[in-house]
Structures are given as structure tokens and as C-alpha cells.
Amino acid sequence: MNEEKFENLKNEVAFCKKCVLHRYRTNTVFGNGNPEARIFLIGEGPGYDEDQQGIAFVGRSGQLLDKILAACNFTREKHVFIGNILKCRPPQNRTPSTDEIIACLPYLESQIELIDPEIIMTLGATALRGLTGKNLKITEVRGKWMIWNNRIVMPTYHPAALLRNPNLKKDSWEDFKQVILKYRELVDPDHACKYI
Ligand code: URA
């Protein structure tokens, strides 16, 4: 990891005015976790709490994500970096526009290049479509490893979808279990998880 480039990128994001969303933001949300992490989680974009605090996934979705990560025995401090397709909150949390995604995507691509994760996980349809540029259906592709830019990607539901529809939690857990197994295979064979 090139720390200088990472800090420069963070700075660039903090002053970004490439799309209209800079007018509405309180803070940019660059992403959080370990820049040396081997797992890169991608969400959609900041919500109200994230915009207020400048930290990714700190609202209700984030709290659920933290519970799931804890069940995997993954921590933000060590195992994951959490970023988003968008670094600024869309007003009223509306779905990001194509223009906004196109403007912001190079930041995510640079983050991925610098962190160089072993495993990527997209959370929700916007993250999946934003990253791949394909109009994929989350219900059809979740739980199946995909290849993007020579990297392996596990698409799964967004935690907000699990909050809206708890029936999805079972499938979501299957997807995270696959990530645990892949982490053991590629990163740490001794990674403990009491559930798998
Ligand atoms: N939802 C997201 O997609 N990202 C966040 O950072 C918070 C909520």
C-alpha cells in the first residue's frame, strides 16, 4: 500500500466538485477500515449519518453490517476496508444518477488499485451495477463469484435490504460464509469463525 498516494486520493475526494452532490454534502465519505485489508466491501453511498460523520456505514445499515462482520470474526480494524460507489450523499438518499456514478467511480477504482484486495464484496444492486457497469439483477447473481478486472467479487444484498426484508438474511449469511471460506483459502487458513 502506497500511503502517500492513498492520502493524496483522500484529499482529492475531500475537495471534489466533479458532480452536483458536492453542493449538498456535509462531509465526503472516503471509506473506512484497514487500508491493508484483504477484503474490500463496497456500498452505495453515504446516508444521513455517514454524511454527518464522514464515516462509512455508521447508521442502521452500518450497525447491521458490523454485526454480520462480527459473526464472520472480521473487524474493520484488521480485515476489511469499506468504501462506497459515491463519496457524497445524494439528497434524500435518492438512488445515484448515472452521471454521479461515472464522475465518482475513478476514486473507487483507485482505492481498489491501491489497497489491492484479495476479495471484493458488493453490497446491493447499485454497488454491483456501479462497479461492473452491467445491469445485473442482485437476486440472480448474489452468492456467485464473479470476475471483475481480474479480481474476484462476491455480490450480496445491501444491509438496508436485510433491514427491510429479514427473510433475505439467510441468503446473505450464505454469501458471507463463502467469503470466509475464500479468505481462509487465499489469505489466512487459520481464520477462526465459530459458525463455519
Ligand atoms: N449505505 C451505504 O451504501 N453506504 C454507507 O456508507 C452507508 C449506508
For residues 143 and 176, what is the distance between their CA atoms, to the nearest angstrom?
A: 9
Q: Which of 158, 162, 163, 164 to mutate to test the pocket of ligand 1 (most atoms within 8 A of CB)?
A: 158
Distance between CA atoms of 188 and 79, rounded to whole angstroms? 11
Instruction: Report the nearest-CA residue for atom 7 of ligand 1.
Output: 57
**Residue 47 Cβ < 6 Å to ligand 1:** yes
Mean pLDDT over the full length of the chain: 98
Asked if residue 193 belongs to a domain, the reply is no
In a domain? residue 195: no
Q: Is 155 in the pocket of ligand 1 (CB under 6 A)?
A: no
115 inside domain: yes
Ligand 1 pocket test: pick from 55, 58, 61 the residue with the most ligand atoms within 8 Å of its Cβ.
61
Q: How confident is the model at residue 1, as a pLDDT?
A: 84
125 lines ligand 1 (CB under 6 A): no
**Residues 128-140, mean pLDDT to the nearest whole number:** 97
> What is the position in ligand 1's atom list of the atom closest to the CA of 124?
3
Report d(CA 152, CA 46) in Å as an integer: 24
In 3D space, the residue among 95, 79, 103, 115 whose CA is nearest the CA of residue 3 turns out to be 115
Query: Does any domain span residue 196?
Result: no
50 lines ligand 1 (CB under 6 A): yes
Tell me whether residue 38 is in a domain.
Answer: yes
CATH number at residue 166: 3.40.470.10
Residue 105 lies in a domain: yes
Query: What's the total number of domains in the chain?
Result: 1
Among 26, 48, 50, residue to substitute to test ligand 1 (most atoms within 8 Å of Cβ): 50
CA dist., res. 172 & res. 158, Å (int)? 9
pLDDT at 45 over 90: yes
pLDDT tens figures, 26-41? 999 999 999 999 999 9
CA of 169 to the centre of ligand 1 (A): 17
Non-local (6+) Cβ contacts of 94 within 8 A are: none
Give a yes or no: residue 191 inside a domain.
no
135: in domain: yes
Size of the chain, expressed as the number of residues it contains: 196
Q: Identify the residue whose cell numbers are 444518477.
A: 97
Q: What is the pLDDT of residues 52-105, one digit of tens each?
A: 999 999 999 999 999 999 999 999 999 999 999 999 999 999 999 999 999 999
Single pTM value for the model: 0.97
Rounded mean pLDDT of 178-184?
A: 98
Q: Evaluate: CB of 61 within 6 angstroms of ligand 1.
A: yes
Pull the grid cell for residue 113. Answer: 488499485
- Residues spanned by the domain of 158: 3-186
User: How big is the CA angle at 145 (ends 139 and 151), to the nearest 5 degrees?
Assistant: 130
Per-residue cell: 119: 476479495
AA identity, residue 111 = Q
